[in-house]
Copies of this chain bind each other. A is one copy, B any other.
Amino acid sequence: MTDLVDGRAIAAALTEQTAAAVAGLRAQGGRPALAVLVATPDAGAAWYLRAIERTAARAGIDAQAHRLPGVPGAADISSRLAALSADPAVHGIVCQTPLPPGASLATVGPAIAPGKDVDGANPASLGAVATGLPGAFPPATAAAVLHILRRSDVPLRGQRAVVVGRSTVVGKPVALLLLAADATVTICHSRTPDLAAVCREADVLVVAAGRAGLIGAGHVRPGAVVIDVGTNPSAAGGLTGDVDAAAVTGIAALLSPVPGGVGPVTTAMLMSHTADAAARAVPAV
């Protein structure tokens, strides 16, 4: 029997909490605002922007899309991010990916002020998360994975966690957050020879490899918790994860599916981070 994580329900509950916090800030005269820099005509990014706008509306946060025309270079993107960082009316900043050729999140991320870096794009934010400094925001996706595990009462302390994927946006920050939660953490990737054997060591398996169907029945220890962070285009024009859900059903105790798992919680987490950033910026009455 495999339970499914209801990411939409977890997201709705988180957004409700955020809305209450934002209402409090608004009562003090605050006007929490999230700026989304759009430097790409990518269809997935446009879809994600609409999801951000919908969730922001529910949370009472002003979401502002800032579109850069044409094919902006890294310098154009950095300079717009720096301007948003300096704008006291902006509390959170997200830079959408993929970026145009020549620009990368690692190189433009440092232009986002750490206090507004609600999607953890500045390497300094990752360093602060790694160091355990308070107030730093991990990438929203990584925070969403941990939020799902906590809301699902999954024990982490002393458990074996395996993360598949070592990206700066998901794999590494998820590993650092699991480590801070006292799990014993293993990070696998494309150079791991016997991926299935390593994955079977996991009490908690987090998959963020970006390869549809990578994880099958042979990768999951009976009773393990599996969090799928993959977002691959499906043949039907939708999204499909890195986990073969049908194959692991009956083996995993709990599965966070794609779609409907980490995705909605990520968007809700962005709003939660933005409310936190605004709370620090709004002077107490």
Contact = CB atoms under 8 A, between A and B. Distances in A.
Given A126-B127, A130-B123, A133-B123, A184 B192 contact: yes
B130 A130 contact: yes
A192 B158 contact: yes
Nearest to A123: B127
Nearest to A162: B186
Given A186-B184, A198-B184, A131 B106 contact: yes
A136 B143 CA distance: 25
Contacts of A123: 124, 127-128, 130-131, 133
B131 A168 contact: yes
Nearest to A157: B191
A180 to B, nearest CB: 9
By size class, the interface of chain A is 20 to 34
A166 interface: yes
Contacts of A175: 187
Contacts of A126: 126-127, 130-131
Contacts of A128: 123-124, 127
- How many copies of this chain? 2
A272 to B, nearest CB: 22
A166 to B, nearest CB: 6
Nearest to A180: B166
A270 interface: no
Contact of A187 (B179, B191, B192, B193): B179
A185 interface: yes
A187 B132 CA distance: 16
B189 A186 contact: no
B189 A187 contact: no
Contacts of A107: 133
Contact of A130 (B132, B133, B172, B191): B172
Nearest to A114: B124
Contact of A188 (B127, B184, B192, B198): B184
Given A184-B192, A185-B186, A186-B186, A133 B106 contact: yes
Contacts of A131: 106, 109, 123, 126, 168
A245 interface: no
Residue from A128, A187, A192 whose CB has the most chain B CB atoms within 10 Å: A187
30 contacts: A106-B133, A122-B127, A123-B124, A123-B127, A123-B130, A123-B133, A124-B124, A124-B128, A125-B127, A126-B130, A126-B131, A127-B128, A127-B130, A130-B130, A130-B172, A131-B168, A158-B191, A158-B192, A158-B193, A166-B179, A172-B176, A175-B187, A179-B187, A184-B186, A184-B187, A184-B188, A185-B186, A185-B187, A186-B186, A186-B187
